[in-house]
Amino acid sequence: MATTDLLIVGTLSAEPGRKTRGTLAADLGTLTVDIPLTLVNGTHPGPRVLITAGVHGGEFTGIDAATRLAALLEPAEVRGQVIVCPVANPPAVYQGRLGVSPLDGVNINRVFPGDSEGGPTGRLAAWLFTNLVDGADAYVDLHSGGIDEVLTDFVGYRLTGDPELDAKTADLAGAVGIEDVIFGTNADGGNSHAAAARQGVPSILVETGQLGERDEDTARRLVGGLYGVLRRLGVLDIEPANDTAVRAWVWVAGVTAEATGLWYPEFGAGDDVTEGQVLGRVLDPADGREHKVLAPATGRIFYGLRGLTVASGAELAAIAASAPRDPGH
């Protein structure tokens, strides 16, 4: 539990009862980027909560919601400390507007906790981890369906094998007010919430909005969801919103393009599919050959690629199956 000590991140700091807004320069080796941060230091002791958005470009709802939240939070109402980073990956957000960085083509959400001696994106991941994730008592990472991605809203988290941590995390996931909660059966891989979970930080992924849309109502709803999480953590003393019953799911399959070409999907986000069902076709524009894409498992598609052009190896869809009960609980 953090106390009402001075909140320090790099060269930014906030006294107890103060809010500080500014940027920190992250050294990526060949260049530096400015990371925007809002530090809200409460007047009473409580946990330190980290909220990031803009880990990927082209995912606007989280960036919008995090920026609104940073403006709304008042230190006098906060127990503990809240760190809001609305644009965690400025090159991907402002230039590429894609999941990969225009600096080096790397998807930062595959390389956490990063490498301080690596390429620019690996260094950025390491910077975010060292400066923001280390020392946090809870972590919320905001994503959306990208510009070419359909998505139905969900909250994700990873099981770590530590029952106490998993229960805490499942509890946070249920506090967002989004019905569908999907867990992964381990905390492997380079996703920021997975890497943070491996360090023992209760961490959730919140996915809202799709196709690179900007929508004020969705952003406002997400701010409400973040209030729900902060309330659950004891950071905000506010009236509970109406409880949303949670449906538990487990990831069962990712669908990968086996050929480069033109993608003709035959599903929408939220569709239930059966193993072996045709999900779409990839057409080779050179020879006109068609590669059928079949569902590798039965379940519901929570997100998928919508853009016309696709490279071999790209993720076309992700399928989760209904879970009898949430093992985090």
Which residues are 81's β-sheet partners? 41, 48
Residue 291 Cβ vs Zn ion, minimum distance, rounded to whole Å: 26
The binding track of 119-148 with respect to Zn ion, each residue x by CB under 5 A or -, is ------------------------x-----
Residue 231 Cβ vs Zn ion, minimum distance, rounded to whole Å: 25
Size of the site for Zn ion (CB under 5 A): 3
Q: Does 68 bind Zn ion (CB under 5 A)?
A: no
Residue 270 Cβ vs Zn ion, minimum distance, rounded to whole Å: 18
Amino acid at 112: F
SS3 80: strand
Do residues 190 and 112 make contact, with C-beta atoms less than 8 angstroms apart? yes
- R_g of the chain, CA atoms, integer Å: 20
Q: What is the Cα–Cα distance from 255 to 253, expressed in whole angstroms?
A: 6
Which residues in the 243-272 window bind Zn ion by CB under 5 A?
A: none
Task: For Zn ion, give the closer residue by CB, 143 or 168.
Answer: 143
| Residue choice 19, 46, 49, 56 for contact with Zn ion (CB under 5 A) | 56
Residue 300 Cβ vs Zn ion, minimum distance, rounded to whole Å: 19
Task: For Zn ion, give the closer residue by CB, 38 or 191.
Answer: 191
Do residues 270 and 302 make contact, with C-beta atoms less than 8 angstroms apart? yes
Task: For Zn ion, give the closer residue by CB, 107 or 322.
Answer: 107
Following CA atoms 226, 228, 230, 234 in sequence, which dihedral angle do they give, to the nearest 10 degrees? 180
Q: Looking at 50-58, 147-155, 270-278, 307-315, which segment touches Zn ion (CB under 5 A)?
A: 50-58
Q: Looking at 38-46, 56-64, 68-76, 118-126, which segment touches Zn ion (CB under 5 A)?
A: 56-64
Residue 143 Cβ vs Zn ion, minimum distance, rounded to whole Å: 3
Task: For Zn ion, give the closer residue by CB, 79 or 143.
Answer: 143
The binding track of 4-23 with respect to Zn ion, each residue x by CB under 5 A or -, is --------------------
Provide the H-helix boundaries in 117-247.
120-128, 163-173, 192-198, 216-232
Residue 146 Cβ vs Zn ion, minimum distance, rounded to whole Å: 7
Do residues 59 and 144 make contact, with C-beta atoms less than 8 angstroms apart? yes
Task: For Zn ion, give the closer residue by CB, 53 or 172.
Answer: 53
Q: What is the Cα–Cα distance from 163 to 217, expressed in whole angstroms?
A: 36
SS3 246: coil
SS3 144: coil
Backbone angles phi, psi at 216, to 5 degrees: -60, -40
Reference 288, options 311, 309, 261; nearest CA is: 261
Residue 39 Cβ vs Zn ion, minimum distance, rounded to whole Å: 24
Binding site for Zn ion (CB under 5 A): 56, 59, 143
